[in-house]
Amino acid sequence: MRKVVICVLVLSLSLPFADAGELAVPAAVRPPPFTLHGMDGRPHELAEWRGKVVLLNFWASWCSPCQTEIRDLVAWQTRYGPSGLQVVGLGMDDEVKLRNVGRTLGINYPVLLARSPALLASFGNRTGVVPYSVLISRTGEIVFTRAGVIDQNLFDAEVLPLLQ
C-alpha cells in the first residue's frame, strides 16, 4: 500500500510538467561537444557557431510536426540570421530522405547527420521525441530545451531576447 501511495504522489507531482515539453536549464550548463558530418559533406562542430544564438533542432523526415516547424525555422533564419541567430538542423534519419525534405522546404541553414539516439539523450531528450530543440546563448550555455514544435510565441519569448 505504501508503494502505491508513493507512486501516486510522484505521478501527481510530475503531471503538471508532463506535457509542458520545455525545460528551463540552470545557468552555466554547457552543451556536449560533437562533430557531425553535414549534408554539405564536411564535418561540423558546435564551436563553429560560437558567439551566435544557436537553435539546435533535432528532426526526421517522417515527422509531420517537424516539417511544419521547419517552415518557421527557415523564416526565422532568414529574418534573424543577420542579428546572430544560427539554426542548425540535426537530422535523425537517412541522408537521402533528409535531403528530399530539405530541398522541398528550402532549408537555408546547416543540417547535420545525427542518427545517434545517444546524441539526442546527451542534450536531455531520453525519450527520442522529435522535434526537439536546444537553445544555446551567445556565451555557449544551454538556456532552454523543448520537446515539440517551437511556435512564434515561444520564439518571441525565448529566442528574441537573446538576439537583443
Per-residue model confidence as pLDDT tens digits over 100-156: 999 999 999 999 999 889 999 999 999 999 999 999 999 999 999 999 999 999 999
pLDDT for the residue 147: 96
Residues written for the chain: 164
The predicted model scores a pTM of 0.83
Q: Which residue has the cell 532549408?
A: 107
Residues 48-55 have a mean pLDDT of 97
Looking at residue 111, what is its pLDDT?
98
Q: What is the mean pLDDT of residues 32-48?
A: 95
Predicted confidence (pLDDT) per residue in 4-36, tens digit: 333 333 333 333 333 345 555 555 689 999 999
Q: Mean pLDDT, to the nearest integer, of 93-103?
A: 96
Please give the pLDDT value at position 116: 87
- Domain 20-163, CATH homologous superfamily name and number: Glutaredoxin (3.40.30.10)
Report the pLDDT value the prediction gives residue 15, as an integer from 0 to 100: 30
Residue 66 has pLDDT above 80, yes or no: yes
**Angstrom distance (rounded) from CA 7 to CA 156:** 37
**Concatenated DSSP letters of 71-128:** HHHHHHHHHHGGGTEEEEEEE-S-HHHHHHHHHHHT--S-EEE---HHHHHHTT--S-
Q: For the chain, which residues make up each domain, given as ranges? A: 20-163
